[in-house]
């Protein structure tokens, strides 16, 4: 029987949300020893050295704060910053290094994307999130970004309270922390919060070729909808949904439930994919694409080619990096189903 994602209503407990905050399967086995710095990019070897040194500190259980440590900030490292921030383009190994740091650190610890973190806080509430995370040794945040003023205020308050509680932070992004939010909202109006976030981090730049300079991969030719439905019906564990039904259903679910929506699914089929004009719909599909990519779920697609999913205006706007990442991932997943 074909699974219909648009007919699923998953319930997700706070314990599950927290337990799932680990590196995705494709980064489950990475370690510092498996990172290969580009000899032509010395910043990569430097970042590896800095992260390895930080990992030695984080491998030790967190010590109870002393009077003097409280005066200088309980979360402060010997370098004076409670967090490390890896800035650089796509494909230079930032996530590899971040996941390696998480694997080396003592627990309790957490690994999530920035979107997952905001979704977690939205699901739990700020107070409950602070209570749940204040005892953690380390929180790793991949793809750090600010999408709107609400995120800025929320994450600024959350990280400020966690740092005060002694939690150490590590993050990756392709935007310097003091430039977060530019092009997406009036960041100048929230300069104090952005500067407070930036102050938590020791920034390390990792240079290397950016995949965007090579262009997006060409999307496979979409299949006729009848063929998409036939493939889904013949493939065990496959879901099949009309594109409009799926994105309307996503609007009725909290994004923290998108992972649970895919429980037991082995492949995803979508018929009648259409170009998007609504940014809210587009951003929900970005989150779903990330959860599909984490689980390495092959995609069978009908309708327009995937590289036409986001409009030219969207690909020039403030969420450009999000859309390019989603396209790259969806195209990769669709190629897994190409004969």
Question: Helix crossing, 94-104 with 42-58: angle to 10°?
Answer: 20
Residues 198, 113, single domain; the answer is yes
Residues 183, 82, single domain; the answer is yes
Chain mean pLDDT for the chain: 85
Inside any domain, residue 25: no
Q: Is the pLDDT of residue 292 over 70?
A: yes
Residues 99, 229, single domain; the answer is no
Residues 56, 161, single domain; the answer is yes
Residue 267's domain spans which residues? 5-11+216-335
Per residue in 218-275, pLDDT tens? 888 999 999 999 999 999 999 999 999 999 999 999 998 999 999 999 999 999 999 9
Of 208, 242, 257, which closes a domain? 208
Of 146, 179, 208, which closes a domain? 208
Reduced 3-state DSSP string for the chain: CCECHHHCCCCCCHHHHHHCCCCCHHHCCCCHHHCCCCCCCHHHHHHHHHHHHHHHHHCCCCCCCCHHHHHHCCCCCCCCCCEEEEEECCCCCHHHHHHHHHHHCCCCEEEEEHHHHHHHHHHHCHHHHHHHHCCCCEEEEECCCCCCHHHHHHHHHHHHHHHHCCCEEEEEECCCHHHCCCCCCCHHHHHHHHHHHHCCEEEEEECCCCHHHHCCCCCCCCECHHHHHHHHHHCCCEEEEEHHHHHHHHCCCCHHHHHHHCCCCCEEEEEEECCECCHHHHHHHHHHHHHHHHCCCCEEEEECCHHHCECCCHHHCCCHHHHHHHHHHHHHHHHCCCC
Inside any domain, residue 18: no
Residues 52, 124, single domain; the answer is yes
Q: What is the CA radius of gyration of the chain?
A: 21
**Which of residues 234 and 184 earns the better pLDDT score?**
234
CATH number of residue 131's parent domain: 3.40.50.300
Residues 152, 288, single domain; the answer is no
Residues near 156 by Cβ (< 8 Å), separated by ≥ 6? 193, 194, 196, 197
Q: What percent of the chain has pLDDT over 70?
A: 83
Of 191, 208, 225, which closes a domain? 208
Residues 36, 143, single domain; the answer is yes
Per residue in 24-79, pLDDT tens? 888 999 999 999 998 889 999 999 999 999 999 999 877 665 544 544 444 444 44
* For range 155-180, the mean pLDDT: 81
Inside any domain, residue 110: yes
Angle CA 314–319–325, to nearest 5: 95
Q: What percent of the chain has pLDDT over 90?
A: 53
Inside any domain, residue 17: no
Burial class (CB in 10 A: 0-12, 13-18, 19+), 95: buried
Edge-first strand order for the sheet with 238-242 is: 238-242, 267-273, 299-303
Inside any domain, residue 26: no
Residues 242, 260, single domain; the answer is yes
Residues 136, 49, single domain; the answer is yes
Q: How far apart are CA 106 and CA 104, in angstroms?
A: 7
pTM for the model stands at 0.79
Q: What residues does 238 pair with on adjacent strands?
A: 267
Taking the CA atoms of residue 237, residue 300, residue 118 and residue 135 in that order, the dihedral angle to the nearest 10 degrees is: 40
Q: Is the pLDDT of residue 279 over 50?
A: yes
């Amino acid at each position: 029987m074909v699974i219909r994602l648009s007919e699923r209503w998953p319930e997700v407990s706070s314990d599950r949300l927290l337990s799932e905050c680990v590196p995705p399967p494709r980064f489950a086995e990475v370690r510092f020893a498996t990172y290969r710095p580009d000899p032509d990019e010395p910043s990569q070897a430097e970042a590896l050295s800095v992260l390895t040194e930080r990992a030695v500190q984080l491998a030790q259980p967190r010590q109870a704060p002393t009077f003097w440590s409280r005066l200088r900030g309980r979360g402060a490292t010997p370098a004076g910053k409670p967090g490390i921030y890896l800035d650089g383009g796509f494909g230079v190994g930032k996530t590899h290094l971040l996941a390696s740091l998480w694997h080396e650190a003592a627990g309790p610890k957490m690994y999530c994307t920035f979107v997952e973190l905001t979704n977690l806080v939205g699901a739990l509430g700020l107070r409950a999130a602070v209570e749940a995370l204040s005892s953690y040794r380390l929180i790793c945040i991949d793809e750090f970004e600010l999408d709107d003023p609400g995120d800025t205020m929320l994450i600024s308050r959350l990280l400020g309270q966690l740092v005060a509680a002694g939690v150490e932070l590590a993050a990756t992004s392709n935007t310097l922390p003091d430039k977060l939010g530019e092009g997406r909202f009036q960041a100048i109006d929230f300069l104090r919060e952005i500067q407070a976030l930036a102050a938590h981090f020791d920034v390390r730049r990792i240079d290397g070729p950016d995949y965007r300079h090579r262009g997006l991969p060409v999307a496979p030719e979409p299949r006729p909808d009848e063929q998409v439905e036939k493939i889904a019906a013949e493939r065990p564990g496959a879901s099949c949904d009309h594109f409009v039904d799926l994105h309307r259903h996503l609007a009725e679910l909290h994004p923290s439930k998108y992972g649970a929506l895919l429980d037991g699914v082995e492949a995803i089929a979508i018929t009648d994919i259409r170009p998007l004009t609504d940014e809210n719909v587009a951003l929900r599909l970005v989150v779903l694409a990330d959860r599909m990519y984490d689980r390495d779920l092959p995609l069978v697609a009908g309708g327009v080619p995937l590289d036409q999913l986001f409009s030219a205006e969207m690909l020039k706007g403030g969420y450009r990096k999000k859309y390019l990442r989603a396209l790259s991932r969806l195209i990769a997943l669709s190629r897994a189903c190409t004969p």
